Amino acid sequence: MTRASVCTSLIIGCIWAQAQTPLPIPDTLTGPLIQLALQEGTQEFHPGEVVATYGYNGDLLGPTLILQQGEPITLNVTNTLPDLTTTHWHGLHVSPANDGGPHSVILPNTTWSPSFTVMDRASTFWYHPHGHGLTDYQVSLGAAGMIIVRDAQEAALDLPRTYGVDDIPLILQTKAIVSGQVALHTGLDSVVLANGVRNAWKELPAQVVRLRCLNGSSERTFLLGFSNALQFHVIGTDGGLLAAPVTLNRLQLMPGERAELLVDLGGQQGQSFQLMSYGSELPDDIIGAAQVGNGMATLDGYDLNALNGADFALVTFAVGAPTGDGTLVVPTALVPTNAFNTADVDVTRPFNIEPESMGAMQMIEGPFEINGALMDMDVINEVVQLGSTEIWEFINNTMVGHPIHIHDIQFNILDRNGLPPEPWESGWKDVVFVPAMGSARVITRFDDFADPDMPYMYHCHLLMHEDEGMMGQFLVIDPNAVGELMTDQVGLTVWPQPYADGPLRLQAEGLEGRCTVALADALGRTVLLEQTVFSDGRGSIVLPVVAPGHYVLRITARGHVPLATTLIVQP
Q: How near is the Cβ of 461 to ligand C2O at its closest, in Å?
A: 6
Residue closer to Cu ion by CB (options 237, 565) is 237
Phi, psi values for residue 104, rounded to 5°: -95, 60
Q: Is 416 in the site for ligand C2O (CB under 6 A)?
A: no
Strand partners, 511: none
Q: Is 407 in the site for ligand C2O (CB under 6 A)?
A: yes
User: What is the rounded CA–CA span in Å between residue 165 and residue 450?
Assistant: 41
Question: With CB cut-offs between 5 and 8 Å by kind, which of ligand C2O, Cu ion, none does residue 256 bind?
Answer: ligand C2O
Residue closer to ligand C2O by CB (options 256, 421) is 256
Binding mask 94-133 for ligand C2O (x = CB under 6 A): ----------------------------------x-x---
CB-facing half-sphere around the CA of 79: CA atoms within 13 A: 21
Query: Which are the contacts of 200, defined by CB distance < 8 A and separation ≥ 6?
Result: 20, 21, 22, 23, 24, 193, 194, 314, 315, 316
Which residues of this protein are in contact with Cu ion, per CB under 5 A? 90, 402, 407, 460, 462, 465
Q: CB–CB of 553/564 below 8 Å?
A: yes
Please give the residue whose beta carbon sits closest to ligand C2O in the complex: 90
Residue closer to ligand C2O by CB (options 106, 457) is 457
**Count of residues that interact with ligand C2O, criterion CB under 6 A:** 10
Q: How near is the Cβ of 221 to ligand C2O at its closest, in Å?
A: 15
Q: Is 90 in the site for ligand C2O (CB under 6 A)?
A: yes
Q: Which of 99, 37, 28, 32 is nearest to 66 (CA)?
A: 28
Q: Is 202 in the site for ligand C2O (CB under 6 A)?
A: no
Query: Interacting stretch for ligand C2O, rule CB under 6 A, among 52-60, 64-72, 145-153, 454-462?
Result: 454-462
Query: Interacting stretch for ligand C2O, rule CB under 6 A, among 32-40, 168-176, 455-463, 474-482?
Result: 455-463
Phi, psi values for residue 334, rounded to 5°: -120, -110
Query: Could you please report the per-residue DSSP string of 198-248?
Result: SSEEEEEESSEEEEEEEE--SSPPEEEEETT---EEEEEETTEEEEEEEEE
Q: Is 19 exposed, middle or buried (0-12, 13-18, 19+ CB in 10 A)?
A: exposed
Q: Which of 459, 493, 286, 291 is nearest to 370 (CA)?
A: 459
Question: With CB cut-offs between 5 and 8 Å by kind, which of ligand C2O, Cu ion, none does residue 554 bind?
Answer: none
Q: Pick one of 149, 457, 529, 557: the residue that binds ligand C2O (CB under 6 A).
A: 457
Q: Segment 239-278, which members bind ligand C2O (CB under 6 A)? A: 256
Q: State the DSSP code for 342.
A: G
Give me the residues that bind ligand C2O (CB under 6 A), please: 88, 90, 128, 130, 256, 405, 407, 457, 459, 461
